[in-house]
Amino acid sequence: MLGARTPADASETGRGLRRRRWRKAVAALVTLLALAIGGTMAATYDPSPVGHWRTDAGRHAFATSYAAAMRLLPEPNRTLDLFTDYGTVRLYEFVVPATRSRTPVVLLPGRTASAPMWVDNLPDLAAERPVYALDTLGDAGMSVQTRKLVDGTDQAAWIDQVLARVLEEADAPRVHLMGHSFGGWSAANYAVRHPQRLASVTLVDPVLVFQGIRWQIYVKSIPAAVPFLPRRWRDRMLGDIGGGGELDLDDPLARLISDGTEHFAGKLPLPERLTDEQLRRLTVPVYAAMASDSVLHDSAAAVEVGRAQVRDIRIRNWPGASHSLPMEFPDQLDREVLDFMGEHDGPA
Domain count, the chain: 1
pLDDT at 330: 95
Q: Which residues of 25-58 are buried (b: 16+ CB within 10 A; e: fewer)?
A: bbbbbbbbbbbbbbbebbeeeeeeebbebeeeeb
pTM (2 d.p.): 0.86
In a domain, 346, yes or no: no
In a domain, 135, yes or no: yes
Cβ-proximal residues to 304 (8 Å cutoff; 6+ apart), any chain:
none
In a domain, 295, yes or no: yes
Give the model's confidence band at 337: pLDDT under 50 very low, under 70 low, under 90 confident, else very high: very high
Q: Given the DSSP bridges, would you call strands 144-145 and 87-94 parallel, antiparallel or unpaired? A: antiparallel
**Which residue would you say has higher pLDDT here, 343 or 212?**
343
Residue 21 structural domain: 7-272+286-338
Tell me the mean pLDDT in the region 276-291.
96
In a domain, 280, yes or no: no
Helix (H, G, I), strand (E, B) or coil at 229: coil
Q: 115, exposed or middle or buried, with CB in 10 Å at 0-12, 13-18, 19+?
A: buried
Alpha helices by DSSP H, listed for the chain, are 7-11, 14-31, 39-45, 56-70, 122-128, 152-170, 182-193, 215-220, 222-225, 231-241, 252-263, 276-280, 299-309, 325-328, 330-343
pLDDT per residue as tens digits for the range 151-190 = 999 999 999 999 999 999 999 999 999 999 999 999 999 9
Tell me the mean pLDDT in the region 42-49.
63
Tell me the mean pLDDT in the region 17-27.
49
Interatomic CA distance for residues 147 and 48, integer angstroms: 10
Interatomic CA distance for residues 264 and 126, integer angstroms: 30
In a domain, 127, yes or no: yes
pLDDT per residue as tens digits for the range 91-123 = 999 999 999 999 999 999 998 889 999 999 999
In a domain, 32, yes or no: yes
CATH code, domain with 266: 3.40.50.1820
pLDDT per residue as tens digits for the range 212-224 = 776 556 555 555 5
In a domain, 277, yes or no: no
Tell me the mean pLDDT in the region 59-73.
96
In a domain, 45, yes or no: yes
